Amino acid sequence: MNDMTPVAKTLPKDWETDQEVRWCPGCGDYAILKAVQRTMPEIGARPENTVFVSGIGCSSRFPYYMETYGFHTIHGRAPAVATGVKLANPDLDVWIITGDGDALSIGGNHTMHLIRRNLDCQVLLFNNEIYGLTKGQYSPTSHVGTRSPSTPFGLLDRPLTPCAYVLGSGARFVARAIDVNKNLPAVLKAAHAHKGTGFVEIFQNCIVYNDDVFAPFTEKANAAGNQLWVEQGKPLLFAGGTKGLTLDTETLVLKVVDVVDGDWAAAHVIVHEQTNKAIAHMLVEMPFGPFPMALGVLYDDPAPTFESAVVAQNAQASLGKKPDLQKLLSQGQTWQVEKQPHAM
C-alpha cells in the first residue's frame, strides 16, 4: 500500500476490464471480484499504481478482470514475481491472488519466504479445498477422506491450516473471510491498511468440484452459531452473544462457555487483542465442530517491511560513493603498458 493523494475518486466500475469473466456460473470468485472492485475506491487506490500478481489456478485469472496493471505468472511463483516488482518499484500497491494449491502446495516455499520477509503487499488466498482448474483433484487443504479423481478411495493426507502455516512463518497480519460475506471488504481494507504482508484466507465455494464444503459454517442456518467474527477490543462472542471463548487457565486451551444475559465478563470471555500472537495461534488452530470458525482480523502487529529495508540499505551502502564505472573497471592491482616491448 502507499500513501496516495486521491486524484479523482474512482467508482467500482472503473476497476472492471472489458474481458469476459470466465469462471463457472455460481463460482465464489465472482463475489470476491466484486468485493475487491468495491474496496478499491474506498481505500483511495489508483489503478495505474496497482498491480495484481497471480499464479496458476481458477483464482489466478483474477488480474485479467481488474483494470489495473496485472501479471498472471506461473504455478506457485506469484510471491517471487511480486517480490521483484515491489523491490524494483516500492511505490506500487501489490496484490497477490492465489489459491490453496498455488500458495500451499507448488508454491508453499515462496509463500513461507514472502511472509517471513514481510514484503508490503496483500495476499488473497482463495481456499476452496480443491484443485478446480485441473478438474477436481484434492489439495493440501482438503479434508481426510475427500474423494477426488486422484483419491477415488478417499484422501489419506492430513490437511494444512493456511493461517497456522503463515503465522508459523512469521506473518504480521492474518485474517479470514468468506467469499459471499458482507464483511469481506472490511477485511480487505484492514489488510491494505497494514504495512507489511497482509494475508487473507478467503473461504471460496467451488460449485463444480467441492460444492458446499464450507456449508457447516457458511449456510444461513449455520452462520450465527458457527461464525465467530473477531473485533479488536471486543469479547470473542458468537451465537448471537450467547456463547463465547475463554481460556482454561489450567490446561491453557480455549473452551466454549455459555454467556448468560449478555454478561460475558462473568463467563471470563477473552477480549480480542489483535497484537496477541498466542491468541491468534489458538484461534486459527481451533478444531471446527467443537469450536466455531474464527473470522475477521485475527492478528495485526506491524513490523518493518522488506522492501523498505532493502531501499534503506541500498541508500546507506551508496552513501558518498559515485557510480564511476571507469574507476570500477580500473580497480585492483593494475599496471600500465607504455610501448610494445618487442615484436611478436
Q: Which residues bind another protein (CB under 8 A)?
A: 17, 19, 47-49, 51, 53, 56, 63-64, 66-74, 77, 79-89, 91-92, 109-110, 112-113, 310, 313-314, 317-318, 321-323, 325-326, 328-344
User: In angstroms, how far is CA 187 from the centroid of its own chain?
Assistant: 11
Taking the complex as a whole, the smallest distance from the CB of residue 84 to another protein amounts, in Å, to 3
Taking the complex as a whole, the smallest distance from the CB of residue 332 to another protein amounts, in Å, to 5
Nearest CB to another protein, comparing residues 54 and 204: 54
Q: d(Cα 101, Cα 99) in Å, to the nearest integer? A: 6
Taking the complex as a whole, the smallest distance from the CB of residue 36 to another protein amounts, in Å, to 15
φ, ψ (nearest 5 deg) of residue 91 = -75, -15
Nearest CB to another protein, comparing residues 252 and 317: 317
Cβ 75 vs Cβ 47: under 8 Å: no
Taking the complex as a whole, the smallest distance from the CB of residue 80 to another protein amounts, in Å, to 4
Taking the complex as a whole, the smallest distance from the CB of residue 122 to another protein amounts, in Å, to 16
Q: d(Cα 274, Cα 50) in Å, to the nearest integer? A: 27
Q: d(Cα 216, Cα 104) in Å, to the nearest integer? A: 23
C-beta atoms surrounding 289 within 10 Å: 10
Nearest CB to another protein, comparing residues 110 and 172: 110
For residue 188, give the C-alpha cell.
480487505
- Give burial (CB, 10 Å; 0-12/13-18/19+) of 236: buried
C-beta atoms surrounding 21 within 10 Å: 14
Nearest CB to another protein, comparing residues 50 and 127: 50
Taking the complex as a whole, the smallest distance from the CB of residue 92 to another protein amounts, in Å, to 6
Taking the complex as a whole, the smallest distance from the CB of residue 277 to another protein amounts, in Å, to 23
Q: d(Cα 165, Cα 167) in Å, to the nearest integer? A: 6
Integer CA distances (angstroms), 188 to 19, 35, 202, 297, in order: 24, 9, 10, 10
Nearest CB to another protein, comparing residues 70 and 162: 70
Nearest CB to another protein, comparing residues 182 and 321: 321
Nearest CB to another protein, comparing residues 221 and 317: 317
